[in-house]
Amino acid sequence: MKDDNIIHGTYGALLLDFRWKAKRAHILKRDGCKCVVCGGTKGLNVHHKQYHVDSQGRKFVPWNYDDKYLVTLCEKCHRKGHYRYKVPVFVIKNK
């Protein structure tokens, strides 16, 4: 696996990276710039349906996910989802 798939530094800093901003914009556009749960258009987040880690437990960078693992949610639905459900983590041996 290429080491550039692995998070280095803080997750918050990665969300400011141009690669995440481009991926986020792509997912928002795909989902019609609205929450896929309630249809809201304010405070939109792009949510990872699952997280990927390597065999050492290191998380993958947020933009290196297939589109099918990302979804647009408003802040309320995003918060509610994290409260009700734990996001599954999968070990990916080769990417």
Domain boundaries of the chain, sorted by first residue: 3-91
Q: What's the confidence (pLDDT) of residue 14? A: 87
Return d(Cα 6, Cα 20) in angstroms, integer: 14
Give me the residues paired with residue 14 across strands.
none
Instruction: Identify residue 72 by its one-letter amino acid code.
Output: T
Confidence band, pLDDT 50/70/90 cuts, at residue 1: very low
Please say if the pLDDT value at position 8 is more than 90.
no
Return d(Cα 88, Cα 76) in angstroms, integer: 20
Average the pLDDT over 17-24 and give the result: 96
Average the pLDDT over 23-31 and give the result: 98
Return d(Cα 5, Cα 53) in angstroms, integer: 9
53 and 90 Cβ atoms separated by less than 8 Å: yes
